[in-house]
Structure 1
Amino acid sequence: MSLLLEEIPIKNEHSFRSKIDVLPHIEVPWHHHPEFELIYIEKSRGTLVVGDCIDNFKDGDLIFIGPNTPHVMKNDESYYRKENDLRAIAWVVHFKEDSFGKEFFLLPEMYRIKKFLTKSFQGVRIEGSSKYKIIQLLKTLHSSEFAQRILVLLQILQVLALSDDLEYLASDNFVETFQHRNNQKLYQIYEYVSKNFQQKIELDEAAKIANMSKTAFCRFFKSKTNKTFSEFLNEMRINYAKKLLAEGRLTVAQIAYECGFNSPSYFNKTFKSATGKSPLQLRGKSLESFQS
């Protein structure tokens, strides 16, 4: 399945879109779009993939995603069962960089906001007091009309630009690899890995996705990403392991298998090589501990 380019419809009387979705479930396919996206998950839970970050989303999450960043959202299995009373409620804002004019964000006063928007390609989770402020502003935005809509959106962007409560999701490596290379084969491989990394993935299968021989695939992947396919796969698994370790609910051995490693000892070795610390040292610690 190819990376889907989603068309975001915007009313003629508006320069950007703001809406509230109330759905039986969320099942956003592997997609991208040229708009910036702000999502407030009022009520829902499931799996979120932004770039090379695989995470969970839950009630109260606030996420900002930059333009053309590939991402996927899917609810937990319980949402798809018949005769359940679960509902997904999400507040969503979409706007383009030129929604207010081609050079608006180049104004000197927009410097901090422009800096945030540029980095948002990685995807951002907003926490703390910033999240509370933005949720209140979103509620104001939804009931606003005319120029007031623009003023409120700018207030939201100002909060984001000045916030210290931001967790960037995708890695810098992902940005470097994907932002400048619009390669459909690479996206197809990435989608396959993001859906199957918790299972055993053979090199032959990945090569088939790219419609290449194993040798040609290895050469292609290395030339595009500056890493081997095995290194890329382990990187994605380690990124997911960091989230599970921070939650502190599972044992290290359980996390190893949950992330697709075939043995806890190999997981420990790979994790320490990538982070400089053992999984046990970081289990139950905040994500900031992984950078220290």
Structure 2
Amino acid sequence: MSLVLEEISVKREHSFRSKIDVLPHIEVPWHYHPEFELIFIEKSHGTLVVGDCIDHFNDGDMIFIGPNTPHIMKNDDLFYSKESEERVIAWVVHFKEDSFGKEFFLLPEMRRIKEMLINSFKGIRIEGSTKYKIIQHLKNLHTSDYSQRIIVLLQILQLIAQSEDLEYLASDSFVESFKQSSNQKLYKIYEYVSENFQQKIDLEEAAKIANMSKTAFCRFFKSKTQKTFSEFLNEMRINYAQKLLAEGKLSVSQIAYECGFNSPSYFNKQFKAFTGKSPKEKKSEIQSSYI
């Protein structure tokens, strides 16, 4: 499946879109759009992929995603069962950089917001008190009209811009490779890995996805990402492993298999090479930060 450009419609009387979705499950492909997107998941859970970041999303999560960043949210399997009584409730805002005029975010007063918007290409998870303040503004936004809508959105953007409760999702290397390439083959590889990283993935299969020989694929991938395919795959798996370690629900061995490694010892070796710490050391570090 190719990366899909999502067309987002806005009412004629509005300069940006805000809505509340109530759905049985999320049904969107690997996609991108020229709009910034703020999404508050009031109720839902599943897997989130933003660029080369793979993470869980749960009730109460809030994500801000920059324009043209490839992403997908997929519910856990139980949402797609015919007997499921699960429901998705999501508050969503979409706006373009020029929604309020091409020069608006270039005004001196918009400097901090402009810097945040540039960094949002990586995708941002919003946490802490900032998130709860934004939720109140979203409720106000839903009932506002005329110029009050713009005022409330700017209040939200200012909260994000001055917050320290932010976690950036995609890696810097992904951002650079994506900016430098409009190649659908690369997007297909990102999509394939994000959907299958928990299983065995070999170089030959990845080359088939790109419709290349193994040799040509290796050259192509290294030229676009500055990494070998194996390095990219392990990095994606280890990033996900760090999320699981932070959750504290699985043992190190369970996390190794959950992330697609075929042995805990190989996982430990790759994890330490990537992070500088063993999984157990990293887990202790995370737990001590909450004390």
Letter of the 2:143 counterpart: S
Deviation at 1:288, TM superposition (A): 11
Other-structure match for 2:18? 18
CA–CA distance in structure 2, aligned partners of residues 47 and 70 of structure 1: 14
Distance 1:149 1:102, change over 3 A: same
Show structure 2 runs of 5+ residues with no match: none
Alignment of 1:222-241 (within 5 A): 222-241=222-241
Letter of the 1:241 counterpart: A
Count the aligned residue pairs. 289
Cα offsets for 1:106-158 (capped at 9, x unmatched): 00000000000000000001111100000000000010000000000000000
In the alignment, structure 1 residue 154 sits paired with structure 2 residue 145: no
- State the SS of the aligned residue for 1:254: helix
Other-structure match for 1:60? 60
Deviation at 1:27, TM superposition (A): 2.3
Alignment of 1:188-267 (within 5 A): 188-267=188-267
Relative to the length of structure 1, the TM-score reads 0.97
- State the SS of the aligned residue for 2:28: strand
CA RMSD of aligned residues (A): 1.2
Structure 1, 169-178 or 96-105: larger mean CA deviation: 169-178
Distance 1:287 1:142, change over 3 A: farther
Alignment of 1:33-182 (within 5 A): 33-182=33-182
Relative to the length of structure 2, the TM-score reads 0.97
- State the SS of the aligned residue for 1:27: coil
Show structure 1 runs of 5+ residues with no match: none
- State the SS of the aligned residue for 1:29: coil
In the alignment, structure 1 residue 7 sits paired with structure 2 residue 7: yes
Is the Cα contact below 8 Å between 1:35 and 1:97 reproduced in 2?
yes
Is the Cα contact below 8 Å between 1:246 and 1:284 reproduced in 2?
no
Deviation at 1:202, TM superposition (A): 1.1
Is the Cα contact below 8 Å between 1:252 and 1:264 reproduced in 2?
yes
Letter of the 1:210 counterpart: A
CA–CA distance in structure 2, aligned partners of residues 130 and 109 of structure 1: 21
- State the SS of the aligned residue for 2:260: coil
CA–CA distance in structure 1, aligned partners of residues 286 and 175 of structure 2: 24
Cα offsets for 1:219-260 (capped at 9, x unmatched): 111111111111111010011001001111111111011101
Task: Give the fraction of aligned pairs with identical amino acids, expressed as a percent.
Answer: 78
Deviation at 1:179, TM superposition (A): 2.1
Deviation at 1:189, TM superposition (A): 0.8
CA–CA distance in structure 1, aligned partners of residues 231 and 281 of structure 2: 23
CA–CA distance in structure 2, aligned partners of residues 287 and 185 of structure 1: 40
Letter of the 1:252 counterpart: V
Is the Cα contact below 8 Å between 1:242 and 1:287 reproduced in 2?
no
CA–CA distance in structure 1, aligned partners of residues 58 and 284 of structure 2: 19
Task: Provide runs of 4+ in structure 1 moved above 6 Å.
Answer: none
- State the SS of the aligned residue for 2:73: strand
CA–CA distance in structure 2, aligned partners of residues 76 and 285 of structure 1: 29
CA–CA distance in structure 2, aligned partners of residues 11 and 106 of structure 1: 25
